[in-house]
Chains A and B, each alone.
Chain A
């Protein structure tokens, strides 16, 4: 017994091993000898679908498929323990036209109204007539002579006549029409109708109202009238071509018919009109899922196939309990997989040959309860299982392994099954054999592919890790006091002059004023308003003003920049900005530009509908976005700092990004005349990059906003805020001391101290000032208030750069 069960496994193992070794590329399914790949899939498909004629109602199908799937399960190869075909219900818009022709019948006095439609479906003309003396919009039953055969009377006001295949239409055309004879001599003023689609029960009206074909000229007040156009004079038979063109204008022209003067009676004109119609058609596709136990890794191989083509994305996850909570499984993932918000994976299915569908293979670890997925075809069309996620249950581990099943299967292939089914099943066993063969090859190929992906991932993660480690090492080396860049070289070589360190820390006696608040954008002319205040601010003793972020921004306040080079913002235009900078310079105040370098808002969506393509002069793509915020699907490296989650975070490790930013800062200095920078959210990226930027833009003064929370114990602010200020000092260090930082520590402590009279907070354990100012006074920008602290009522905020209080 045991030999027999092992053998097939070994067989498979060997085969796969050899495939692996010899490079399985040669074994493409298409070259499988004797079984053209498409044929194989075709068999597979037809087996599941042959009982469904196209465009059949769905209900039937769902029932049928599950029963068939059950049948198949018994006869599929041993290790497939789940197989099901799910219907995919989807609607698509079929566009076509309705045409209305009023013309002569065989005899001169016989008029015929023809209503046709070229959209396939079961169309019904729901109609009635209006008599001359009718008022309002009530319908009446037409005289029985008008009613075409096969019609049904609906109460006393309407007739329903099914459309018939047009006699004039050629074979392939699906033109349907209804012909109604009308007697112009009767007292019928108009024929009213709507179209009804019996399949969906949908009504099709004309401009929200009934179609109205006047048989008699009378004052036409309504826009819903379909009829002959005056000015084209001639009776009847207008050429088709001409009418078609005319039909395009019909809407405009119809309005003009309102003003038409009443015509003589009996003066009936023939006309032909086409109106567009769009019908939502339910399209039924299918997705079939089969799960196979991978014999050699104890993992499960899930094979998914669908007749959907184009970009079919499987949005999937796994669950470990029957609560069906989505989880992201462990890697490896199939090729073309992205992690979506850390909760699910998105895998782009591979297209089958000839665009006849898509497929994918998923390798899943053990111990999972099920596989959950929904499908997404193209953009924004989600396909689910009757409002729920598709769910593929896995067998509980206790029953696992396909081997016992094999025994059952073998046993089951005995009488007891109806002959008819047996026939199908033998057919299916045959195709199933081919399919599993193909599938094995496919999974081999895809595992090889995923291997490649993995190696690429591994490579990337190695490089990222190297970079991270280097940055860490750099920071420590940098911050330790005895550094020896230029080692004494006894042989005097040409030594480069040491890198000039531009310390953008000003004179140390700056008094900085934030030149805006959180509501300054509201007037739309802040620069103008600020201009008038320059002299006053100067007289108050301010030496530096911090202007609002100048760039075009998604948020009005300016902290969600889009196009760096577009300096027309809610605060005013670029010209006004230049002017205000000039004004401040005239009164001797330096101007800081508020630059947001951590994040930038994209202007375009990528193919996944994610906003991560930038516009404007710096038209970066997703490589400029850090990879570790799944919202934005960045393709850059991991962030070198904290992430700001509301917008794509810029990956400063990219050379092109740094170059562009340096160019931009330089441009701002030259073009606008900024003297320095207030740097927003510098927690978001490594200070070393900032050093680079500051070196390039050589500001007079630069101050970073390194804002994080103070330490608290049981809701009480700690006395020792060393960790907090250490983080800020570390950051200053990372910038090589080229920038100062807002002393947020001091601010926080001051708040607590003043609010609650806890003046003991104002000195640290060593008797120094407890904030950054106590450790690195020359780089500490003491900070009173700014726009983020909630005090929008105050006009401007003061930031004093003061030496430690003794």
Chain B
């Protein structure tokens, strides 16, 4: 009798599976007998209700048993798609913003076959008032919603602030910054960037006696303990905020004027007290104390083009001089060291959870066509036509077994302003090559939702090209994301990506269990009938 029930539930599952496959959420190659088998495990194993059935029809049960153990290895094939939650998903009073919209959105994404969502967690919200006092409730609520929606969660720990929406660093940190402005990045003209702490203070006890790295560490630890139940299950990825905008970089372009089509080269951000001290020591140690008096004097300002002053000139620019080499090495090494500090802290802290640590590296693609790559230099990547600056970065990621998030997967050269000599595609390729060389896994992001419509093809090209990317986070949920201008094309995009087999299994499990439950009463009833029959 039970056999028939199994059969019928399989049939139903097969049907749903079919539905998903037609939705384009299945990879065609992996589909097949394997799918059916693993399905029957799922029917059997999670429930003790089936004990009887198992006894009677042991061949089937036994066959399915071993599979259960190996269920769901971390997928190494196929793409896992995430979507970023709104940056302000948790308000500054720790409530969930637009909870209904988020819930609907999550459900829609789940149905669409999206693997999970990315949740930006802001330092400035959680540890808002006072150092060491954390308020996780808002984020816990979101995590619960995500969990209930059956989605995975990738958490971005944001130690930076944001202009839009306005999220600043914790108030107590800002207060310290008021009396001690040197904790912020400072540019040549003395302007502070107040949305990230200068990397020069990483190990200085500037925050009420604690070093920023310690504070970050405590924050992460608190996060870990507060999300103990989800870390490693629902939460299967954490990215460490490594700098402005969460990226490993200097805030070299933060003053860039909006509206100018040609981006400037940005400015070096080495003028806070501690950076200068550091530079000075370094210069003295290298035997050129005069080089330690400041940053390059002949660098252009934020919006200027590389050729407006001497430093970045294609030919004979100071960047190629020994001083240039000295400064740029120091400047970029500071950044890599900073990344290393945070990533090592995070990877050791979360080592036992099995959650992958990610760090984001910016795609400073403008002026890539020049010899000096000034945008990359000012933001801290000593990458020029003669030097690969990403090797060191990739190596650093590799040594802390972290994965690299690369944005700009949606950018194509054709859409860049011609005069900026920009090439996101080539830069992306270069960084990915460096990562492959050092065995660093790359996951992708798009840069901005507003140019996504053109970007889908480019994203697909990047994702499905010769170097497959395992994880892509689409940025970002919000009004535009769900608007009729955007959402249908996003739906098409998702459907056109072949999702991995295992991922679809996860999708199905819920439904299967429902089916199984439905099947139970039928069993008992038909067995009653059977008894009547045998009595008669």
Contacts and interface: CB of A to CB of B under 8 A. Distances in A.
Interface string A460-495: 001101110111111111101011111111111111
A4 to B, nearest CB: 9
Interface in B288-337: none
Contact of B362 (A16, A459, A491): A491
A14 B245 CA distance: 61
21 contacts: A2-B534, A401-B530, A401-B533, A403-B529, A404-B533, A447-B11, A456-B22, A459-B22, A463-B23, A469-B105, A472-B104, A480-B98, A483-B479, A484-B165, A485-B450, A485-B479, A488-B164, A491-B362, A491-B364, A492-B258, A494-B417
Nearest to B476: A487
A522 interface: no
Interface string A274-318: 000000000000000000000111100000000000000000000
Interface string A237-254: 000000000000000000
Interface residues of A, number: 64
Interface in A429-473: 447, 451-452, 454-456, 458-459, 462-463, 465-467, 469-473
Nearest to B362: A491
B59 interface: no
A400 interface: yes
B73 interface: no
A475 B105 CA distance: 11
Sorted nearest first, the 10 A-B pairs with minimum C-beta distance are A296-B4, A476-B101, A403-B533, A2-B534, A477-B479, A474-B482, A469-B108, A458-B19, A455-B18, A492-B263
Contact of B111 (A21, A455, A465, A474): A465
A10 interface: yes
A473 B105 contact: yes
Contacts of A485: 449-450, 478-480
B16 interface: yes
Contacts of B263: 491-493
B7 A20 contact: yes
Contacts of A478: 479, 483
Interface string B362-401: 1111100000000100000000000000000000000000
A98 to B, nearest CB: 61
B97 interface: yes
Interface in B1-56: 1, 3-5, 7-8, 10-11, 14-16, 18-19, 22-23, 36
Nearest to B8: A297
B253 A492 contact: yes
A636 B15 CA distance: 23
Contact of A459 (B19, B164, B491): B19
Given A13-B7, A474-B101, A487-B476, 16 more contacts: A10-B3, A296-B8, A298-B526, A401-B532, A407-B536, A455-B22, A466-B108, A466-B111, A471-B482, A483-B478, A483-B479, A487-B87, A491-B263, A491-B365, A493-B263, A493-B447
Contacts of B534: 1-2, 5-6
Given A466-B108, A469-B105, A491-B364, A404 B532 contact: yes
A451 B525 CA distance: 24
A392 to B, nearest CB: 21
Given A16-B7, A480-B97, A487-B164, A462 B254 contact: no
Given A403-B530, A455-B15, A487-B476, A297 B4 contact: yes
Contacts of A467: 487
A391 interface: no
Given A14-B3, A472-B101, A487-B164, A492 B260 contact: yes
B4 to A, nearest CB: 3
Contacts of B447: 489, 491, 493
B111 A469 contact: yes
Interface of B: 1, 3-5, 7-8, 10-11, 14-16, 18-19, 22-23, 36, 86-88, 97-98, 100-102, 104-105, 107-108, 111-112, 162-165, 244-245, 251, 253-254, 256, 258, 260-261, 263, 362-366, 375, 411, 415-417, 447-451, 476-485, 487, 491, 522, 525-526, 529-530, 532-534, 536
B251 A470 contact: no
Contacts of B485: 499
A689 interface: yes
A385 interface: no
Interface of A: 1-2, 5-6, 9-10, 13-14, 16-17, 20-21, 295-298, 400-401, 403-404, 407, 447, 451-452, 454-456, 458-459, 462-463, 465-467, 469-478, 480, 482-496, 499, 688-689, 692
Contacts of A20: 7, 10-11
A491 B529 contact: no
Contact of B483 (A295, A472, A490, A688): A688
B522 A297 contact: yes
B530 A5 contact: yes
A473 B530 contact: no
A47 B445 CA distance: 71
Contacts of A21: 36
A20 B10 CA distance: 10
B484 to A, nearest CB: 5
A485 to B, nearest CB: 5
A496 B481 CA distance: 16
A482 B525 CA distance: 57
B19 A455 contact: yes
A688 B112 CA distance: 21
Contacts of B164: 484, 486-488
A689 B485 CA distance: 10
A1 B254 CA distance: 86
Contacts of B163: 488
Contacts of B525: 298
B254 A473 contact: no
